């Protein structure tokens, strides 16, 4: 199993490991956190804080029994998990999902570096199944005006601020046209609290891409394959297909491409496997979003691809060993 920054793992700071790669990821997520506050109010920041505290306490309860430090990766999981939830999510549901994410998405596999699934996706999938009304029934609209929601606790308390579906869900149902590209780019629309703004996502996304914090092959492959499939669906006239650019910019897809599909623990290790893994995520997302009743295509696709990651690694490693054996045999002959 992978163990990121092993030289740092022995150094403890208040019972925590020092993991520079995780700190870079946290910095990259800050623009999305700020955007969530601007569009939906200061409750969004509290949601992120409660998620981080819950994640830390849950992992600490397991780590202290093994006399191990808590990994800083728990904060990356907690922030991503919080950002992909509705801004009106009740706090008790938020806590339930975070505990489930750490316990059943991470600790049952042995802790950091051993988990098969992306813990943030495990937590959100748990909420999606167990609390569907809180996750899909109502969405808070983004605050209007140049100051946004900076003077508000939550836009969910404003009159006529709640909607039964996100704009992209209405597009899928054939009840509306896609939002303008400008609206999608800046993110002033209903949706998960930290993934509506393409601008905020790209600021952090370019940072992880440039610093190689996230795997570039996965990012590029996910985006290209998803764009190609949506292009084919658009040409074929599939109902509910928004077009290439709205599909890329809507529904938090780019957030998933930069920050969720690239999780170094649940993704494959070998380069060819990473490309196939990314293609599975992209194609699964396009198919689920277009043909199923679920709008969470990216979440399900990442979890599905997580299952195949070890198999893909095994296949390519075994192939490499076989080729090396054949080559050595020929050299001996």
> pLDDT digits over 75-114, tens only?
999 999 999 999 999 999 999 999 999 999 999 988 888 8
Confidence at residue 296, expressed as pLDDT on a 0 to 100 scale: 67
For position 42, what pLDDT does the model report? 95
Lowest mean pLDDT of 202-206, 268-272, 277-281, name the range.
268-272
Q: Is the pLDDT of residue 7 over 50?
A: no
Report the candidate in 3, 6, 20 with the shortest Cα–Cα distance to residue 213: 20
Q: For residue 293, what pLDDT is reported?
A: 72
Q: Where does the pLDDT of residue 30 fall: very low under 50, low under 70, confident under 90, or very high at 90 and above?
A: very high
Higher-confidence position of 317 and 177: 317
- Average pLDDT value for the chain: 87
- 163 pLDDT more than 80: no
Instruction: Please tell me the predicted confidence (pLDDT) of residue 32.
Output: 96
Q: Angle at the Cα of 76 (from 301 to 266), degrees rounded to 5?
A: 40
Report the chain's C-alpha Rg in angstroms.
20
Of 65, 86, 230, 105, nearest to 162 (Cα)? 86
pLDDT at 9 over 50: no
Per the structure block, which two tokens stand in for 123?
């937590």
pLDDT band per the 50, 70, 90 thresholds, residue 6: very low
Residues 6 or more apart whose Cβ sits within 8 Å of residue 277: 218, 267, 268, 305, 308, 309, 312
Residue with more model confidence, 140 or 255: 255
Mean pLDDT in residue range 130-159: 85
Dist. CA 271–CA 140, nearest whole Å: 40
Place of tokens 């198919």: 287
pLDDT band at 1 (very low <50, low <70, confident <90, very high): very low
Tens-digit pLDDT profile for residues 197-247: 999 999 999 999 999 999 999 999 999 999 999 999 988 888 878 889 988
- The percentage of the chain sitting over the pLDDT mark of 70, rounded to a whole number, equals 89
Look at residue 332 in the predicted model and tell me its pLDDT: 56
Cβ atoms < 10 Å from Cβ of 206: 12
Domain ranges, ordered by start, for the chain: 12-332
Task: Tell me the backbone φ, ψ of residue 139, rounded to 5 degrees.
Answer: -130, 140
DSSP assigned state of 260: I
Per-residue pLDDT, 164:
64
Beta bridge partners of 243: none
User: Encoding tokens for residue 172?
Assistant: 């899928």
Is residue 140 classed as helix, strand or coil in its secondary structure?
A: strand
How far apart, in whole angstroms, are the C-alpha atoms of residue 320 and residue 44? 47
Residue 297 CA to residue 293 CA, distance in Å, equals 10
């Amino acid at each position: 199993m992978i163990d990121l920054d092993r030289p740092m793992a022995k150094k403890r700071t208040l019972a925590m490991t020092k993991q520079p790669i995780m700190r870079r990821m946290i910095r990259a997520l800050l623009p999305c956190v700020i955007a969530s506050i601007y569009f939906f109010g200061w409750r969004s920041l509290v949601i992120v804080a409660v998620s981080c505290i819950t994640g830390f306490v849950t992992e600490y309860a397991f780590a202290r029994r093994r006399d191990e430090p808590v990994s800083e990766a728990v904060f990356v999981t907690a922030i991503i998990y919080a950002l992909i939830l509705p801004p009106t999510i009740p706090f008790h549901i938020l806590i339930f999902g975070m505990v489930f994410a750490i316990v059943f998405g991470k600790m049952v596999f042995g802790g950091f570096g051993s988990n098969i699934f992306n813990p943030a996706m495990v937590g959100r999938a748990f909420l999606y199944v167990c609390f569907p009304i809180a996750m899909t029934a109502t969405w808070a609209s983004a605050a209007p005006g140049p100051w946004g929601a900076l003077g508000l606790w939550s836009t969910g308390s404003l009159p006529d601020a709640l909607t039964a579906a996100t704009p992209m869900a209405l597009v899928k149902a054939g009840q509306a046209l896609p939002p303008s590209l400008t609206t999608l780019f800046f993110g002033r629309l209903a949706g998960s609290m930290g993934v509506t703004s393409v601008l905020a996502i790209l600021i952090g996304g370019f940072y992880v891409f440039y610093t190689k914090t996230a795997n570039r092959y996965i990012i590029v492959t996910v985006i290209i394959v998803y764009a190609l499939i949506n292009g084919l669906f658009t040409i074929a006239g599939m109902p509910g297909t928004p077009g290439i650019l709205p599909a890329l910019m809507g529904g938090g897809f780019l957030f998933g491409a930069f920050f969720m599909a690239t999780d170094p623990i649940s993704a494959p290790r070998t380069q060819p496997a990473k490309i196939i893994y990314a293609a599975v995520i992209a194609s699964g997302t396009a198919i689920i979003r277009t043909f199923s009743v679920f709008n969470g295509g990216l979440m399900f696709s990442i979890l599905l691809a997580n299952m195949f990651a070890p198999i893909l690694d095994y296949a390519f490693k075994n192939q490499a060993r076989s080729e090396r054996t054949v080559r050595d045999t020929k050299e001996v002959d």
